[in-house]
Structure 1
Amino acid sequence: MSAERRQALRGKYLKLGTGELAAAASFAVVAIALVMPRLAGPDDSSALWSALVPLLAVLVQAGIYWLAARSWVERAPMPAPFAAAYRVFRIADAVLLGVGLVGILVWWPEGIGTALLVVAVWLFAVVEYLNYFAVRLAYPLDRWFIRVGRWRTPRLVQDLRTSAPASRARNHSDPN
């Protein structure tokens, strides 16, 4: 592809990566500075963190993915070690979401407002997970209803599919 297209994608990936990392930092800061002091007790805090930890994990992984993908976009497949890590994340994040849901149920918040907040955070984590590992859900608002129904494959999953397995990657570097 053209150098202009590669540069445009690198710029887009920079924005996506820094945006996801900024979102993760924002959620953590808001939780610690604004929400935690207003919670009724330790069970509410535990429920909040049960919802928040999976969200933070997915957002940080997504940010790192977009920033790293700038190095291979339009040039090469995703490096095999990186792909292996994200294949593990795909499973680990699903487990983390399940454990988070159990934590929410065990430490169910006292107030309805806190319960709604905790459930909303957990559901957002599920949506982010699906957006990166199952089906693309993120589109501009003016085209969202048209495009989301197409059930497109997320860019991360496309990169995972085209990544060279570790053994094949080693063979490519072997001169014999």
Structure 2
Amino acid sequence: MAEDRRESLRRKYLSLGLGELAAATVFVAVAVTVVIPRLGSGDDQAALWSALVPLLVVLLQGGAYWLSARAWVGRAPMPTPLATLYRAFRIADIGLLTAGLVGVVLFLPDHLGVTLFVVAVWLFGVIEYVNYFVARLSYPLRQLPSRLPQWRIPRLVQDLRSAR
């Protein structure tokens, strides 16, 4: 791979990685400073955290992936130990998302608006999981209608497949 192309990808991966970490930080900050103070019961808060924790874990894994991929992009396959870890994440995240859903249902808020918000947070975690481990879902808005039906393989999955 040409060095210019590699450096371009490294910059893109830096942006993606820092973006995922920033998103996780914003979700926590908004939850703690804005949402939780407005929730009535401890059950509402438990439902929110049940939805939010899986999302945060997937975002942190994604951010770490993009930042670490800067080391091998254009030079080598994903290192085997890291591939093993992300293969484990791929399975564990399903369990985490399932546990999160159980928590959401168990602590289901009484107020419909809060319920819809909590479910939306959980669904966003599912979407992030799918985007990293099943099919690429993130495209620029203009490209979304034409690219989404193509069901492309996420970069992380491509790296997992190429790892030794």
TM bracket (short chain):
over 0.9
> Percent sequence identity over matched residues?
60
Q: TM-score, normalised by structure 2?
A: 0.99
The RMSD of aligned alpha carbons is 0.4
Counterpart Cα distance in 1 of 2:76 and 2:8:
16
Matched residue, 2:59: 59
Matched residue, 1:140: 140
Question: Which residue identity is paired with 2:45?
Answer: S
Matched residue, 2:116: 116
Counterpart Cα distance in 1 of 2:56 and 2:62:
10
Q: Which has the larger radius of gyration?
A: 1
Question: Which residue identity is paired with 1:120?
Answer: A
Matched residue, 1:6: 6
Q: TM-score, normalised by structure 1?
A: 0.93
Uncovered stretches (5+) of structure 2, i.e. residues with no partner: none
Matched residue, 1:78: 78
Matched residue, 1:50: 50
Uncovered stretches (5+) of structure 1, i.e. residues with no partner: 165-176
Runs of 4+ in 1 over 2 A off after TM superposition: none
Counterpart Cα distance in 2 of 1:152 and 1:143:
13
Question: Do the aligned partners of 1:40 and 1:110 also contact (CA within 8 Å) in 2?
Answer: no
Number of paired residues? 164
1:16-39 alpha-carbon deviations (Å, 9 max, x no partner): 000000000000110011000000
Matched residue, 1:160: 160
